[in-house]
Structure 1
Amino acid sequence: MDLFRYATIRDFTDERVVMCCEELEEAENDIFGLATSFLLVQVARYCITGVLPNAEGEERPFHPHGMTSAFLLIGMGAVCLVLGILLAFVPIGNKKLKHVSETMQNTLGMVFAWAVLVGARMVSREWAPLVQLVGDYATMRRLTIALTLSTCAITVIGALDLISDRLSGRDAKQLARVLQNMINVLSILIGLSWEACFESGVAELAQVSGDPERTTLLLSVGTIMVVVPAWRKHILERVQVLNRKFSERREALQTHGLEEDAEEEDKASPRQETEGSSRPLIQGKTKI
């Protein structure tokens, strides 16, 4: 990726080149965190249950492991989340080491998301009342998991947001960034749970059709046609507005000689807080 980037990009002062480099770096970090966290959870599942899941994270055929295994996996994810939070408080001056630290925080947060999702799946297969309710219907079981995790995550996100708004003192901004990282992790958990739900639904619809491959392709294209316009209209537009407000606030702080506050604002910029979202603007350059 770096060889291709440096072979094709010449003018690093061009605004579009800067935006391209930022998007490439963010994509590299997200891919690394997502892949590494998934593999770590796969290894943890093998260590806890003695059964190695397939490349999709499924056990086929399914082997019951008991509720203890599920809670051990969730506990491992919680430990990783705590380590990521503690890592955020470690002062690092070197730019490369800071990048490694941020990547590790991202990876540990995704480990928590994967561990909770897989643990919830194991609980849904082991908890007798839920087994009697949904039976062996995989899509219904995953839909129940997605609704439950989304409800819990949104509740916790609301509480963390309220706490973040009421922080004060010298370490308030540092704590606010930690809380924002936790909110990002819970957002990833919601996304993973619904992705698994939609994947199961598409697979079942494709199997009952006469042409599974073509049906899967058509359903995927239809999903993109629904999701992308909504993303551009609501999420992308909001990110642009937040970046513009941030740029105006940072310029105002610099105008009044508050460079330290401006640097703190830069660390807590909307581009950092909307992790996984597109970062469409360059601060102070692009006009909407």
Structure 2
Amino acid sequence: MGSVGLLLIYHIFDIIRERIAHMDDGEKDEYEEKWDEETEEAENDVAGLSMSFLTVQAMRFAISGILPNQEGLEPWGAAISHTPHQCHLLMGCGFIFFLLSMAVLNSERIVETPERLERVIEILNNYLTFGLSWCLFYGVRWRISATHFTHENALLMVAIALFLSAVSFLFIFVLDKVEDNHLFGEDAEIAEGATEKIITGLGILIGFSWEQSFDTAVDVVAEGLRHLAPPTFSKMVMSICLVMIVFPAWRFYILPTEREISEAPGTEMTKGKTNG
């Protein structure tokens, strides 16, 4: 139901964007094309992220018998009591997500995707990649939590984020070297596609782990300041402070770098402009 609802909403907004783009001169210029492209990409990410999260929530409940709350959190007693078998089952589900994503990738190479299904395939790819990352994240979280090395939730989340970051960066470094040196062969498209999927999944996994860590830290700080201000107000102030720190870095460094890369010769965007 969620996926059908999202696709319906996206279709409605797509119609609205098309009408706005053709409202002035009856044509869709380069900037309007870019606006539509970036909006659809964001919508696809939201669909993949939300649906994969709900799916993994259901998997966690099926494996452990404990239903997490809307933020994916479990009661502390339940969070530190998962067995190694449950952890391995959840990470195994992540492996199934990976195999399914490879099947979709290979089918795209073998059979030409109809234009009307391209966006559905893109959302499906996001769904499977995010699903892999969620399963790995919660599987590792269960395993580390079960060691009972700390009873502080914020410290636990930082430890999980550091562990996942270290392991993921190591794997990404090795896989990147393997791909750069064509160790699978010059024409090993399937192996290279699998490598890119794993690297993407690990990158998302790092983001998930630190997002959860920061979210827990904000909750802890807000509760600690309860005697000075309501937690909701403290969270709002901290969010504003984070935006003031992050936005300049994004605007003056990350965005120009991303534009430079996207406009470099050989990129998909440049190829599209050349072909056009």
TM range (shorter): 0.7 to 0.9
Question: Among residues 160, 163, 188, which one is paired with 1:145 in the alignment?
Answer: 160
Q: Which runs of 5+ in 2 are unaligned?
A: 1-12
Contact 2:263 2:270 in 1 (8 A): no
Matched with 2:249 is 230
Is contact 2:262–2:270 with CA below 8 Å preserved after alignment?
Answer: yes
Secondary structure of the 1:6 match is helix
Q: Deviations over 1:138-196 (max 9, x none)?
A: 11000000000001111111111111112243344x64444223212111111010000
Counterpart residue number, 1:114: 134
The match for 1:205 is 221
Query: How many corresponding residue pairs?
Result: 250
Q: Which amino acid aligns with 2:93?
A: M
Q: Residues 163 and 12 of structure 1: is their aligned pair in 2 closer, same or farther, counting only changes over 3 Å?
A: farther
Which of the residues 24, 27, 33 maps onto 2:42?
A: 27
Q: Quote the residue 1:180 is aligned against.
A: 196
Matched with 2:5 is none
Give the whole-Å Cα distance in 1 for the aligned partners of 2:116 and 2:77. 43
> Following superposition of structure 1 onto structure 2, how do residues 92-131 of structure 1 map, counting pairs within 5 Å?
92-93=111-112, 94-127=114-147, 131=148
- 1:82-97 to structure 2, matched below 5 A, reads 82-90=99-107, 91-93=110-112, 94-97=114-117
- Contact 1:45–1:52 (CA under 8 A) maintained in structure 2: yes
> Which residue is equivalent to 1:256?
none
In structure 2, what is the equivalent of residue 219 of structure 1?
A: 238
Q: 1:7 to 1:80 in 2, by over 3 A?
A: same
- Structure 1 residue 4, shift from structure 2 partner: 2.9
Could you state the TM-score of these two structures normalised by the residue count of structure 2?
Answer: 0.83
What is the root-mean-square deviation of aligned Cα atoms in Å? 2.3
Name which of structure 1's ranges 27-36 and 237-246 shifts more when overlaid on structure 2.
Answer: 237-246
Counterpart of 1:57? 72
**Deviation of residue 51 (structure 1)?**
1.5
Are the counterparts in 2 of residues 153 and 186 from structure 1 also a CA contact under 8 Å? yes
The one-letter code of the counterpart of 1:163 is: V
Could you tell me whether the CA contact under 8 Å between 2:264 and 2:270 is conserved in 1?
no
Structure 1: how far apart are the matches of 2:245 and 2:270? 26
2:94 to 70, 74, 77: 77
Deviations 1:27-81 (A, max 9, x none): 1110010001100100101111111111010113532231211111011111211
Name the aligned partner's letter for residue 234 of structure 1.
Answer: Y
Query: Residues 208-244 of structure 1, C-alpha deviation per residue, up to 9 Å, x if partnerless?
Result: 1121122111111111111222223333222212122
Q: How many angstroms does 1:6 deviate by?
A: 3.0
Find the aligned partners of 1:74 and 1:177 in 2 and give their Cα distance.
Answer: 21
Letter in 2 for 1:204: V
Structure 1 residue matching 2:263: 3-state secondary structure: helix
**Residues 170 and 19 (structure 1), Cα distance of their counterparts in 2 relative to 1, 3 Å cut:** same
Write the letter of the residue equivalent to 1:82. L
Paired residue type of 2:218:
V
Question: Which among 253, 263, 275 is matched to residue 244 of structure 1?
Answer: 263
Q: Are the aligned partners of 2:82 and 2:143 in contact in 1 as well (CA < 8 Å)?
A: no
Identity of aligned residues (%): 29
More displaced stretch, 17-26 vs 85-94: 85-94
CA–CA distance in structure 1, aligned partners of residues 151 and 196 of structure 2: 37
Matched residue of 1:158: which SS?
Answer: helix
